[in-house]
Structure 1
Amino acid sequence: MTFKTLDDVSDLHGKTALVRVDFNVPVEDGRITDDTRLKVALPTIRKLTEKAAKVALLAHFDRPKGKVVPEMSLAFVAPALSDLLGAPVQFASDCVGDDAKALIEGLPDGGVILLENVRFYPGEEKNDPAFAQQLADLGDIYVNDAFSAAHRAHASTEGVAKLLPAYAGESMRRELDALNAALGAPVKPTIGIVGGSKVSTKLDLLKNLVGKLDALAIGGGMANTFLYAQGHEVGGSLCEKDLKDTALEILKEAEAKGCRILLPLDVVVAQEFKANAANRTVDLGAELSADDKIFDAGPRTVAQLKDVIANSRTLIWNGPLGVFELPPFDAATVEAAKFAALQTKSGKLVAVAGGGDTVAALNHADVVQDMTFVSTAGGAFLEWMEGKELPGVAALG
C-alpha cells in the first residue's frame, strides 16, 4: 500500500500534530521497567519538533475499559519521556476538551505534550465518531506511529485518521517498509520460520504463508501436531491430536502451492522440563515412551534449516524452534538465529522477525541488533502475517 510520511509535509510551523504512540509500557512499583516503546517514538517526535510543530501525544495505558482509573493515568510517563527527549514534556489531565486544547495552544512551537489515557473514554475502543471528532479538534494533522495498536479500529487509530490529513510516523514507516520487504514484495527465494506451542493459534498464519513462501519451517510444540499427523510417535509431548486432519490439509495445500514444508528430522526429548534435564536426541521413527516429551529440534533439523536459509534471500520469523527458556532446549533456536544473523550481516539475507516469544528468543540468542528488522508489535505483526487488513494502517492509505 501507499501512504504518506512526514517527508510529505512541507510546512508545520506552529501547527499541531496529533500523534498516536504506544506508551503501554511495563511498570513495576510505579517504575518503567522497559522504556523501549518511549525510545521508539523519539524519531517521530524530534522530526516534528524540528519542523516547529506542536506535538500532542495520544496513547493508552492498561485496560481501564472506558472509565477513569487513577492508577492507569499516563502522568508517570511524561517525566520519563522528557528525560529521553532532553526537552520538557507537559502533561494534560484530559485527552479532549477545552482544557486540553488550551494547553496545546499554549505550547511553544516545537513543544511537546502528552495527553491523558484515551481509554478513559468508552468512545475510544468503540471508535465512536463523536469522540474521534473531539480528538481531531485538537490538531491540524494526524500521525500514527503506533503499529502495535494498528490492528484495532479505535477512535485514536482509525477514526481520527479519517478526519485530519493522516501520515505514518517514523516507527510506523520502518515497520511497514520491513513487512513489505518480508511479505509484500520480497526478494526470492523466501523462507518462513513459524514456531510456538499450538497450531490452533496460528492456523490463519500458516494458511497465508504457504501461499506466499518458497519454504516454511515449522518448529516448537506445533511441529509435534504435524509429526503426529504423519504417523510419527510424539510420546507425552504437547500435541493437538484433534487437529491431525487440519495439519494434513495444510501440508497438502503447501504442496499444491509449491511451498516446501520443513519439519523436524530429529528431536531432543526429556522426561522433565527443567534446566539441564537429562535428555537425548532421537531421529523420527524412534520409539518414545509416554513420559518422553519433545522439547527441541535436533542438530540434523538445524543443519537442514541452515542450508535452506543459506539459499534464501528473505526470511520471516515468528516463534521459537523449542522451549528456549531453559537450556539445553534453546540450542536449535540459538544456532538457527545466529546463522540467520550472520547471513543478514553479510548482506545475503533480509531477515524480519516479530512476536513476543520471537523477540525474547532472539534477545536470548543476542542477535536482535543483527537482524534487518525485529518488530515488537505482537498482535499487529501476527495479523499482518496472517494477511489481514489492519484498520490503523488502512486508514493511512
Structure 2
Amino acid sequence: MKNIPTLSDINIKNKFVLLRSDLNSDIKDGKILPSERIKQSAITIKELKKKGAKVVIIAHQGRPDSSDFTSLYEHSKQLNKYIKVMYVNDLVGEEALGAIKNLMPGEALLLDNIRFNKDEMNPSSKKNSLVEFFCKNKDFKFEYYINDAFSVCHREQTSITEFPKHIKSVIGRVMERELAALENLRLRDANCLFILGGAKPEDNIKLLKSKNKIITGGIFGQVCTLAKGKNLGAQNKFLAKQIKDLPKIITKIKPQSKSIQTPSDFAVKGKNDSRIELKLEEFPSQFEIYDIGKITIDQYVKEISKAKAVYMKGPLGYCEDEKFSTGTITILNEIAKRTKENKLFSLIGGGHLSNAFARANLNEKDFSHISLSGGALLSFIAGEKLPGLEVLKK
C-alpha cells in the first residue's frame, strides 16, 4: 500500500523504536508449540538490531479469561532461537522502565503480554496507562512505532490504534509482505477464485457477497449444502453439536447459497473406518462426512485451471486422517503446480492446513504467500477498512 510508510522510509540508528509484533501462538498443556509467527517476527527484529536501533517489543498471547492467556516468557525462549532478545516479566512497572532506559543500540527487549494491562482492550479510556507509559514517558522517548502485527489490525486496541496517534509510525517487514500479497490478490480480483473450507463457517460469511467464484469444502461446504436445503443425515447432528448458532449461520448463508459451489459428492467414514464416496443424491446417510469426493475434486481442479489467483482458507476434509486428506492435498498440489508454472498467484490462509502441507511434502516456498493473519485477512479481502491500517496512512 503506497500510502503507508515502511522501515525503508526511516533512519533508526541509535533511536528508541517500539515494535508491535505478533507472537500469538498455539499452546498445548501449558506449553507453547513451535510457532511460525515467532519465526517470522524475528525477521523485522533482526533488521532493527542490525541497523542499530534500541528495540522494545510488545505483543500479546490469547485473550483475557481464555486458557491460552499467558505471559510471554516461553515466547522469548523460542524467539531467541532465531534472534537474541532480552525479556522482562513486566510491562509498565519499574523493571520494564529500567530495562528500557538501559537498552544499548542493537539490543532488543521483549516486554510481557500487552493484554495483561486492561487498557489494551479499552483504547478510549481517559487516562490510558499504556499511552502514558509508552507515548508520554519523561524517562525515554520512542522516535518510531512499528506495527508488524497485521493479524490484529482489524481490532481497535491501544497498541494498534492509539500509539500511532502519538508516535511517528511505519510498518514492519512481515506486515509489508502481507500487504504486498493482498495487493497482488486485489490486482487479479476479476479472476480470483475463493476456496473456502475449514471448521469455522461463521468466519467465511463476510466473503459470500464477493463477486468472485466461490467453491467450498470442509465443514463450511457442508453447512452451505444445508443452506441449499439438502439433508445430510448423520452429519446434520454432528454439525448441530459442533457449531454454535448453526440455524442462524444457515440463515445468513441462504441468500448467497445459489452462487456458491458446494460439493457434488462426499467421502464418509464407513465400517472399519473405511473411505466410502457417496454422490449428493445418495444423502441423507447414516455415516458422517470426512472429505470431499473425487467428482468434486475433479470439478475444483478445473476451476483452479481457469483462475489467475486463488485464495484458499482452511482444509477441505479431515486431514489428520490420511484417508480423508485426499481432497485437500490434491487441491493444494494443483495450486502449487500452477504457482510454480507462473500461471497463478496463490494466497493460502488458515493454520489448520499445516497437517496437509506435511502430508503433501509442501511448504511455504510452493505458494506465492502463506498468511498467518486470520480474521484481519478475511476482513481485508472482504473490503472492510482495518482500524490498525487506517491510522497508519499518511
TM-score by length of 1: 0.84
Give the structure 1 partner of residue 145 of structure 2: 142
Name the SS of the counterpart of 2:297 in structure 1: helix
Match of 1:202 in 2: 204
Q: Which residue of 2 aligns with 1:178?
A: 181
Partner residue in 2 for 1:352: 347
Letter paired with 1:366:
N
The alpha-carbon distance between structure 1 residues 358 and 385, as it changes in their structure 2 partners (threshold 3 A), is: farther
- Sequence identity, in percent? 30
CA contact (8 A) 2:194 2:311 kept: yes
The superposition leaves residues 59-114 of structure 1 with CA deviations (integer Å, 9 ceiling, x where unpaired) of: 1234456xxxxx933234434433421x4x22234323565344223222111111
Match of 1:310 among 305, 308, 314: 305
User: 1:221 aligns to what?
Assistant: 219
Distance 1:93 1:199, change over 3 A: closer
**Equivalent position of 1:5 in the other structure:** 6
After superposition, the C-alpha distances for 1:351-393 in whole angstroms (9 at most, x for unaligned) are 1011233444444433232111111222322333333322222
Seen in structure 2, the aligned counterparts of structure 1 residues 147 and 47 have a Cα distance that, compared at 3 Å, is same
One-letter identity of the residue aligned with 2:204: K
Please say if 1:116 is aligned against 2:128: no
Residues in 1 aligned to 2:346 and 2:22: alpha-carbon distance in whole angstroms? 24
CA, structure 1 residues 187+64, in 2 after alignment: closer, same or farther (shift >3 Å)? closer
The alpha-carbon deviation at position 7 of structure 1 amounts to 0.5
CA deviation after TM superposition for structure 1 residue 311, in Å: 1.7
Q: Is the 8 A contact 1:359 1:376 kept in 2?
A: no
Equivalent residue runs for 1:34-113 within 5 Å: 34-64=34-64, 72-85=70-83, 87=84, 89-96=85-92, 99-113=95-109
Aligned length: 375
Match of 2:311, as an amino acid?
I
Structure 1's consecutive aligned runs of 4 or more residues displaced over 6 angstroms after TM superposition are none
The aligned counterpart of 1:158 is 161
Q: Secondary structure at the match of 1:202?
A: helix
RMSD between aligned residues = 2.8
Q: TM-score, length-normalised on structure 2?
A: 0.85
**Match 1:249 to one of 235, 252, 255:** 255
1:320 alignment partner, SS class: coil
Distance change (3 Å), C-alpha of 1:51 and 1:197: closer
Q: 1:242 Cα deviation (Å)?
A: 6.8
Instruction: Find the residue that maps to 2:263 and give its secondary structure.
Output: coil
One-letter identity of the residue aligned with 1:7: S
Residues 384, 267 of structure 1: alpha-carbon distance in 2 compared, 3 angstrom cutoff:
same
| Cα 1:152–1:243 shift into 2, 3 Å | closer
**2:286 paired with 1:280:** no
Q: What are structure 2's unaligned runs of at least 5 residues? A: 240-245
Distance in 1 (alpha carbons) for counterparts of 2:172 and 2:330: 35
In 1: Cα distance, 2:15 partner to 2:200 partner: 49
Mean Cα deviation higher: 222-231 or 141-150? 222-231
